[in-house]
Structure 1
Amino acid sequence: MTKAWLLMRGDVRVGELREYGVDQPTFLCHFVPGPGWESVSALFEARAVVQGPDPDGSRHAEAFRPLMDLGLTLHPSDGGAPLGCFRDCILRIDGDMARLRY
Structure 2
Amino acid sequence: MMTQWHLLRGDILIGELSEYGCDQPFFLARFTPGPGWESVRALCEASAALSGPDPDGSRTTAVLKPLQDLELRLVPVDGRQPSLQVLKNCMLRIDGSEARLRY
TM-score (norm 1): 0.95
User: 1:100 Cα deviation (Å)?
Assistant: 0.4
Tell me, what secondary structure is at the counterpart of 1:38?
helix
Correspondence 1:62 to 2:62: yes
User: 1:31 Cα deviation (Å)?
Assistant: 0.2
Aligned-partner Cα distance in 2 for 1:61–1:22: 27
Equivalent position of 1:8 in the other structure: 8
Aligned-partner Cα distance in 1 for 2:40–2:98: 15
Gaps of 5+ in 1: none
State how 1:1-102 maps to structure 2 within 5 Å: 1-79=1-79, 80-102=81-103
- How many residue pairs get aligned? The number is 102
Give the ranges of 4+ consecutive aligned residues of structure 1 lying more than 3 Å apart after TM superposition: none
Tell me, what secondary structure is at the counterpart of 2:37?
coil
CA deviation profile, 1:47-70 (whole Å, cap 9, x unmatched): 222211112222111110110000
Aligned-partner Cα distance in 1 for 2:21–2:62: 29
Code of the residue aligned with 2:77 in structure 1: it is: S
Aligned-partner Cα distance in 1 for 2:97–2:55: 29
Aligned-partner Cα distance in 2 for 1:92–1:14: 14
Gaps of 5+ in 2: none
Identical counterparts, % of pairs: 59
User: 1:78 Cα deviation (Å)?
Assistant: 2.3
Aligned-partner Cα distance in 1 for 2:25–2:78: 20
Tell me, what secondary structure is at the counterpart of 2:39?
coil
Code of the residue aligned with 1:13 in structure 2: it is: L
User: 1:20 Cα deviation (Å)?
Assistant: 1.1
Tell me, what secondary structure is at the counterpart of 1:100?
strand
Tell me, what secondary structure is at the counterpart of 1:42?
helix
Aligned-partner Cα distance in 2 for 1:7–1:92: 12
